[in-house]
Amino acid sequence: MALTLTNAYLKVDDIDLSGAMTDVSLTTSADTVDVSTMGGDGWRANEGGAKTWSLAASFISDDGSIDELFAKLGTKVSVEVRASADAVSEANPAYKSDGGILSEFSPIDGSMGDAKKYAITIVSAGALTMATTAE
């Protein structure tokens, strides 16, 4: 069954941004390390390398969090994001990190006629975990 995002949850440090959020994207990836040898079968061989994650989100209102987020630009922040603000569960895991850097902050984001938005990007500075039970 597909999940429609209508009530996603995002907390950066102690700031709950869920009520103003219009979109959110959490991306994870891992580097690949080429371990191919000339004695192989002609196919490249790769191993998994360092992992990374990033989070991008946009917001539609200025509820006072703009000042708080601007002050955190370039600093280490904690993050928790879930597909729903409902309780953490197997179907609604919480992705958390105490090691992210607020690397981008766009206090004005939009086109003519659009509601004024602002946007943030947080990049990894530590591990991302997935919890399926409340702590």
Q: Is there a domain that residue 1 lies in? A: no
Joined tokens for residue 25:
């994207």
The CA distance from 31 to 21, in Å, is 30
**Residue numbers of the domain that contains 79:** 9-131
Each residue's pLDDT, cut to its tens digit, for the chain (135 residues) gives: 667 888 999 999 999 999 899 999 999 999 999 999 998 788 999 999 999 999 999 998 766 788 899 999 999 999 999 999 999 999 999 999 999 999 999 988 888 998 889 999 999 999 999 999 987
In a domain, 45, yes or no: yes
| In a domain? residue 109 | yes
Considering the domain boundaries, does residue 3 fall inside one? no
Q: Is position 90 within any domain?
A: yes
In a domain, 2, yes or no: no
Q: Is residue 4 part of a domain?
A: no
| Number of domains the chain is built from | 1
What DSSP string describes 58-123?
EESS-SSHHHHHHHTTTSEEEEEEESSSSPP-SSSPEEEEEEEEEEEEEEEE--TTSPPEEEEEEE
- pTM score, whole prediction: 0.89
Instruction: Report the alpha-carbon distance of residue 133 to residue 98 in Å, rounded.
Output: 18
**Quick check: is 20 in a domain?**
yes
DSSP bridge pairs for 96: 80, 129
CATH of the domain at 110: 2.30.110
75-101 CB burial, b ≥16 within 10 A, e <16: eebebbbbbbeeebeeeebbbbbeebb
CA-to-CA separations, 24 to 2, 119, 122, 135, in angstroms, rounded: 17, 10, 11, 23
